[in-house]
Structure 1
Amino acid sequence: MPLAMPAGVLIALLFGLLVWVLPALKVTAALIGVAAAVTIIRRPLRGLLLFGLLATFLPYATVQIGIRTTVSEALLMLVWASLLAHRMFALYNAPLNLLRTERWLIALMLFSALPFVAGQLTVDAQGNGPINWVRWLFNLSPLFLVPRLLDDVKAREQMIIAMLLGTLLLLLLSIPVYLKNGNSAAIISIIGGLGYSNLDTLNEGLSGFSTRMGSPWTHPNITGGALAMLLPLAFCIGMTRQGAVRLLGLAVALLAAAGLLFSGSRGALVSLLLVMCWMARRRVPYVGRMLMAAGVLGALLLMLYPPLQVRLLGLFSNDDASTAVRFLEYSHFPEAMSMFPLGIGFKVDPPVPGTGLWGISNLWLNYIYKLGVAGMLLFVAVTVSWWKESRLPHDAVTLNRDTALWLGSRGGVMAALLSGIFDHYFSFTMVLIALFWLLLGLNLHEARRLQQLTPGVASESGERP
């Protein structure tokens, strides 16, 4: 590039000056950060792969970039800045043909400007609506990064390995800490040293989940949702790959199943079981045996692990606190709709302080709460379009090396949507929804690749025809 020499000289002079006025440790850290940023700007795929690793391992580690945001979101911003720079210097030409699902998501993003403005004017509460709105838009954007950076089989395989490796690191950190201490708050001091902030607030928030496993996802239900979304993918990759990738997939699938039980997320557990039943009905190999084995292991855990007994039996208890709260949320939800017909926007999360309203633990109703009925309908249009557009000819469901990514990502997106019946975390929870839209994009474009193959012929190598 013509600017490479003057830019290099400028950076060298700048850091030479900083060495004189700042401690060496800070200058070294800044130098490493700048070097990483320059590397990502030169090769944005590396930034997206790093996002896949960190978003599944340390999703809420924070960084100060004028505003405090998560490292994962900062990486997404840097990747988009890199693509913009490449386009300006004619190094990269973005694809212009959008799929129907991608066009629907753009419509949702554009429409969100209306609830954003309405919320800024009608919600009387402290909060940075513009920053929260921009962050949410960036968390939807991984869907559009898939055709730009993950447009070949090799890049998608690298992305899956990065996500599974990050999940493995999260589980290897969370499960031993939980087994040793037996409570969710034990991990706070560890993640505090890994870049997490607001530890006092986090400790207070976890005080009501003392018998459930904590993780870098901070909330046990978010942990359960993330594991339920990634477990089908890990299983399909583990059953169809060889060598280290096979071991990685199987290790993540096994540990994620244990982590899901320890997190005590009933909604995530039920949603994953429903997806497994769908896969078994479609005669996906080994899933029926896994369901039988899960039944036996579940019975043993119910006999030997009292916290799990409490969580599962609570599904059928009349005095379960979380179930009672959910029914109260549903009964008060019409009040929120009448008070904020266009949604509350992005200034705060439900419930709005000082209104006496309740929150809502449902993905689609949370869209109504934040964006109004029209926003929820647009989200439904996106997901319905994805379901139709990512189906294979004759609705074929087979598990081999060529279809593993498609089947695993499809099962993961289904698990996330089904968990939305019980929880709202896949609607506006930062970083988690970025992974959701990334997985949906991977499934969408894998389906497009498979649809272009000769009907009935799927190559074992996964290469384009």
Structure 2
Amino acid sequence: MPMAFPLALIVSVVFGVLAWLLPAPKVMAVMVGIAAVVTILRKPLWGLLLFAVIATFLPYTTVNVGIRTTVSEALVMLVWASVMAQHLFGQMHRAPKALHTERMVIAFMLFSALPFVVGQVVIDAAGNGPVNWVRWLFNLSTLFLVPRLLDTPRKREQLVIALLLGTLGLLLLAIPVYLKDRTPDTLTGILGRLGYGSVDQLSEGLAGLSGRMASPWTHPNITGGAMALLVPLAACFGLTRTGWSKALGVAVTLLGLVGLLLTGSRGALVSLVLVLIWLARKRVPYTGRALMVAVVGAALLLMFYPPLQDRVMDLFSSNDASTSVRFDEYANFPRAMALYPLGIGFKVDPPVPGTTLWGISNLYLNYIYKLGLLGLVMFLVVVRSWWKYTRPTTKALVLTPDNALWMGTLIGLLAALVSGLFDHYFSFTMVLVALFWLLLGLNLQEAKRLRATAATSLALPGNRP
């Protein structure tokens, strides 16, 4: 049964009721919103592409859908509603057989119910655990939207373009504002007008970071993590495309590297350098040049940009507050493990209010803090399954237009996982983790396509050994 008739009937009834109850301007505004929702219900791919733009441009713009949530997460929920409606009316093909990694992620999501329940019982603090848990599950669920909605290389390329357009918008907003004022106040004022909540608290939290660039990702370290995840994809895409797609990829790459340096996120910088060194060992073209350009660019920026000089000198200073805090967190972490062996769940984020515990700036230890040691094991099982499926099988890698999306997502995901040794943002930071799992799903599907292509090529008579 087509969806158009029931949707048209519902919209007609709603329009009539609204026209009777509300003034004309409000009716028109509501109808525009309803039209957008209906469009996504009929075209779920459009909703996923819109998510890719919003999540990389204005990730924390909020909307009230009964509860206050981000527009990005509301779009993910709406896309899933559309997928289920499409299945109900028989207008969507069956999802392909789940890969091993996808099954492991489902097991990981199911396991999270245990620390969620435990946290609800043992944590005596204000917090909405059920909402936080459901939001986190929806963030992970972007992995499963890829095989359902991005079943062709053309659709996957459209998603990459949407991600890069959103990232370009974020960089064109954040970099000029920061270079003009060198203070987060101007940006937080703009974000307030764009739908960000708690602007006063945001401004207060960034007050001590005036020497580092904030962005719509709010904290400089989160911005750095997002750049480490997305810039490799932009670089691989830009180097292998032509026309405006190439210009888009190159622009995001160059501006993303500038933005990464301006954030002063040492963890993101170190992770990218380590991954580039690994790629150089794999003899990937352009890697050596990229390292040289990065070294020269960083040297020039160090010469003429005092905040970065201070940030680098902190590495060799005994008074580096950031490093000192991290060592204190590690020293206190065993107490948190002993007090909460099954994790603290989703009611609150570390540290637990009312205790003398510390938080933890490490992705892997943060999984232990939230989900217990078994939660970390489950996550590592997922990562191992992903790596076994997608890892390079040759000693040398050659970047081509055919494998650019696979290689770009692979490098970005590796950089994110390495940065997890220094920061925790890819574990439970809403929206950012949705992008992480979306790229992991994209990488899996590209690896699956490349495997099928290689198998077909070997099956041809002229290619048999």
Provide TM-score, normalisation by structure 2.
0.96
User: CA contact under 8 A between 1:397 and 1:407: conserved in structure 2?
Assistant: no
- Select between 254-263 and 180-189 the one with higher mean Cα deviation: 180-189
Superposed, which structure 2 residues align to 1:165-204 within 5 Å? Answer: 165-204=165-204
Superposed, which structure 2 residues align to 1:149-298 within 5 Å? Answer: 149-298=149-298
RMSD of aligned C-alpha atoms?
1.5
User: CA contact under 8 A between 1:186 and 1:214: conserved in structure 2?
Assistant: no
Amino acid at match of 1:59: P
C-alpha distance in 2, partners of 1:256/1:202?
Answer: 23
Identity %: 63
User: CA contact under 8 A between 1:132 and 1:346: conserved in structure 2?
Assistant: yes
SS in 2 for 1:207: helix
Match of 1:55 in 2: 55
1:88 to partner: Cα distance: 1.3
Match of 1:75 in 2: 75
Superposed, which structure 2 residues align to 1:307-386 within 5 Å? Answer: 307-386=307-386
Amino acid at match of 1:214: A
Amino acid at match of 1:436: F
- Select between 228-237 and 310-319 the one with higher mean Cα deviation: 310-319
Match of 1:462 in 2: none
1:215 to partner: Cα distance: 0.5
C-alpha distance in 2, partners of 1:142/1:10?
Answer: 28
C-alpha distance in 2, partners of 1:327/1:7?
Answer: 57
User: CA contact under 8 A between 1:238 and 1:249: conserved in structure 2?
Assistant: yes
User: CA contact under 8 A between 1:393 and 1:451: conserved in structure 2?
Assistant: no
SS in 2 for 1:454: helix
User: CA contact under 8 A between 2:336 and 2:357: conserved in structure 1?
Assistant: yes
1:6 to partner: Cα distance: 5.3
Superposed, which structure 2 residues align to 1:92-107 within 5 Å? Answer: 92-107=92-107
Question: Structure 1 residues 107, 322: closer, same or farther in 2, change over 3 A?
Answer: same
Amino acid at match of 2:85: A
Amino acid at match of 1:71: V
User: CA contact under 8 A between 1:53 and 1:166: conserved in structure 2?
Assistant: yes
C-alpha distance in 2, partners of 1:252/1:3?
Answer: 39
SS in 1 for 2:453: coil
User: CA contact under 8 A between 1:343 and 1:369: conserved in structure 2?
Assistant: yes
Question: Structure 1 residues 100, 27: closer, same or farther in 2, change over 3 A?
Answer: same
1:356 to partner: Cα distance: 1.0
SS in 2 for 1:442: helix
Q: In structure 1, list runs of 5 or more residues that go unmatched.
A: 459-465
C-alpha distance in 2, partners of 1:168/1:7?
Answer: 35
Q: In structure 2, list runs of 5 or more residues that go unmatched.
A: 459-465
SS in 2 for 1:63: strand
User: CA contact under 8 A between 1:232 and 1:253: conserved in structure 2?
Assistant: yes
User: CA contact under 8 A between 2:283 and 2:396: conserved in structure 1?
Assistant: no
Match of 1:115 in 2: 115
Superposed, which structure 2 residues align to 1:374-453 within 5 Å? Answer: 374-394=374-394, 397-453=397-453
Deviations 1:266-297 (A, max 9, x none): 10011111111122221222221121121112
C-alpha distance in 2, partners of 1:412/1:56?
Answer: 15
C-alpha distance in 1, partners of 2:374/2:5?
Answer: 51
C-alpha distance in 2, partners of 1:300/1:10?
Answer: 61
Amino acid at match of 2:77: M
C-alpha distance in 2, partners of 1:454/1:429?
Answer: 37
C-alpha distance in 2, partners of 1:387/1:443?
Answer: 10
Match of 1:88 in 2: 88
C-alpha distance in 2, partners of 1:450/1:61?
Answer: 37
Q: How many residues align?
A: 458
SS in 2 for 1:452: helix
1:253 to partner: Cα distance: 0.0
Deviations 1:308-365 (A, max 9, x none): 0111221222210010000000000011111111100000000010011100000000
